[in-house]
Structure 1
Amino acid sequence: MAQILIVDDDHQLRQSFERLLSAEGYTVRTASTGEAGVEMVRESLPDLVVMDVRMPGLSGLEAFAAMREIEPRLPVIIMTAHGTTETAIEATRMGAFDYVLKPFDIPDILKLIEKGLSAGRFMRSKVEMDAPAEGGEGEAIVGGGPAMQEVYKAIGRAAPTDATVLIRGESGTGKELVARAVYQYSSRAGKPFLVINCVAIPETLLESELFGYERGAFTGASGRKVGKIEQANRGTVFLDEIGDMPVSIQAKLLRLLQEKHVERLGGAGPIPVDVRIIAATNRDLEQAVAKGAFREDLYYRLKVVTMTLPPLRERREDIPLLAKHFLCRFSREAGVPDPGLTPQALDFLTGHDWPGNVRELANVLQKNLIFNRGGPITADDLQQAAGVTPQAAAAGTATPALEAGGDGSAQEFLRRFVRGELVAARDDEGAFESLMDRFGAVVIAEALAMTGGNRTRAARLLGLSRPTLLARIEKYGLKIETSVTSQLGATDPDSPGR
């Protein structure tokens, strides 16, 4: 479990953080001074640091600079009161992951911590290429077939350059791993690597998240905010799902690629930046260009180097290697023996179409390992975990065996849901996206209800990463009941030492 270091001279705040984060499943260490925090980082590197700006002795800014000397990729979240905002902004420009103003709400700080941990994992987790099935300690891109050999060659050729890279492929094919591999084998590997999911951030917030803003730029802009691109100066920015980026923001991204500068919302002039852009999409960009939904000039700027990842059904020869890799990895992480697969189970794996690609395969194998009762995993076990009916398996098709409950089948439930939504939408051009959002909200709300609001368990149940689930919860405006109602850092922002 992730280890978080809290550095603050306020004893009550440290205790509140320790209780909250321990309840979320994190390992928490605390320090009351900047000097002690730096020493803890030197002795045992945490996954994330949350640190106050104003402390006796070594200030938060000085402590942050010392921590960056030890590990430049360590994500640090700076806490500040209203009177010290400019100092926190300076820390962000120096490379701090983000800053928050005291007092802050629990859901907000938990979301920011999860984002920081995710960014740290992206930067520091090693991605092996063409790794052996037994696997190492980190994540790996596994596959020895011709299609994957071309991917390895492309990574090797593109990584040492500063060329913009566009990674294409269906959902679940491993675009994120390839982006991390390009970063890790590049000359910018020791610099920041920030990830922006263009579909998870609301359109109204995406521009300010990327480019930042000045005080008074819009209603609610009470201070300056440094954008992620400016924050990643001399590093790399990964724009995931770039095909969903609004056209209005595409123009500013094009300007960045052409002129190497950004402009904050409400800013007086350009700010020079040196970042490498890696982008990924599962969309048909050529079709989007034809429809006017994606700028043609940006499309050509992005595809300096293009890597296309094949779906799993087109590289079935790699499935046995992937299955062995995931079972080795998951059994090692869980501390249990690798149960192995029966020959019939392996036949099912290689014959299934895997619409969710490598991600779906990994989720099915992990689920089977969790519920394994001893002995090798069978074809029946895999079919149940993959949601395939015995009839569909016998016919060689992959019809989901969803459980709708009540007196109707899953297919009937979905049929009624779709019909009702389409009738309501009538000839709305956004009917499909609206339908998927409504159905996604229903599924996530049900998972949260089943897990009593536990987001980690709900994410595991749905086969999503926790950050993705949190992003969807925010997008759909779902409410999560929690027993924690207090605020952290609810002290007078103008009190001495804060």
Structure 2
Amino acid sequence: MRVLIIEDEYALAAALSTVVRRLNVEPMVAASGQSGIEKAQRQRFDLVLLDIGLPDMSGLRVLEQLRALPAPPPVLIITAHGTLENALEARRLGAHDYFLKPLNLSEIQAALRDLLQPPATDKLPVPSTSSAPAASTPEQAVMIGAAPGMQRAFAVIAQACASEAPVLLSGPRGTGKTLAAQVIHRNSSRSAGSLVAFRADEWAEGEREQALLRAIESARAGTLLIEEIGTLSLPLQAILARTLAGSPPLPRLLATASGSLTELIAAGSFREDLFYQLAVLQVQLPPLCERMEDVAVLASYLAGRAAPGRELTLALETLACIKAHAWPGNVRELAAAMQHAAAVCTGSVALPRHLPESVAAASQTDTSGHLDVSLTRVLNAWLDQRLTGPENTWPDYDTLLAHVEKQMLATLLVRFEDKPTRLATALNMNRATLRRKLRELLGRE
């Protein structure tokens, strides 16, 4: 048996090769997309490990060509930059699974074992591209996030799009649970049917049962979204549980919850059987304070959406205020803040004074706080990725420090209008030292 590893990072390719050998399987490495395609065309492989970020082409293009082979092998996607579009496209093209860096090599080994050494009675067919859901178009893809928590959520959302299993979407209010449900429906086999949303507190007490029954009936050919399912009364929960256990045709069920359903079960206010019926797939959406690396991109996108027909950019000082705010209302609060900025800013650049007072004041009251926590989280994730594989393949300390310093200098130069003399003066740096670092790290004379 042979496994093809298409990965341009030498250390990670070596680590994956070690994992493959542990299963008594022969690994073969290709460092580019074209090389991987040519190897797969010349000989048969039992499985392919494929990185999306390749030097010559996107791994998704490679996946498309691998799936066109006469006997396409199962493909496991690995990526450092998980996005909703990549996850959906990988599923549409027939990828068997989708793993995010930094990789958990134990999980990779378990997935390889299941695919390469499956029990004879449990062999599953390779997913077909003909029945997989279509990927979102750029206009539809409004979920944004590079933070690890969002990448994990995107991977499960992609799995949900390729399935009809019930899905529980959890997370604090304002994190985008309803939006994620819309994405799942739009990219599922039920997309031709209606997405029917039901929320119990929108109905008077005496009308809720009939409203739920009407929603169930209307969604039989499509998807039923129960919002804040933890607020359903026990009688309504019983109706829903009976529906899910009934005869087809049944609606595809999606449910959102801001609180912990397991705590409600312990308190006797939520049915345990209903929980297991609906939580087949679980999408956990993190609060915005745990994905601060996404805030600048999100804010710019939401500002553009709040000002259709005109250009509205965010000044660096404005972004600093935005990053210093804790965002207890999550993405919903950020969207409202960008609408506020668009309403009060008559020019093309939103300044701190155009933000709501609570956000503009954040830079004065907490300029570090959760930003330091976010920096630590991102740095840990980056180090986990760099220190993958055997210790003798790890970069040395000076190499790691040079990479961090390079990014910092590049950012500082932008802030000081690409003028090293101003940068050296403002930060009390030795000019000769700065020139040497710019030459060594950024290739500038």
TM-score normalised according to structure 1 size: 0.45
Which has the higher relative contact order, 1 or 2, with Cα contacts under 8 A spaced 6 or more apart?
A: 1
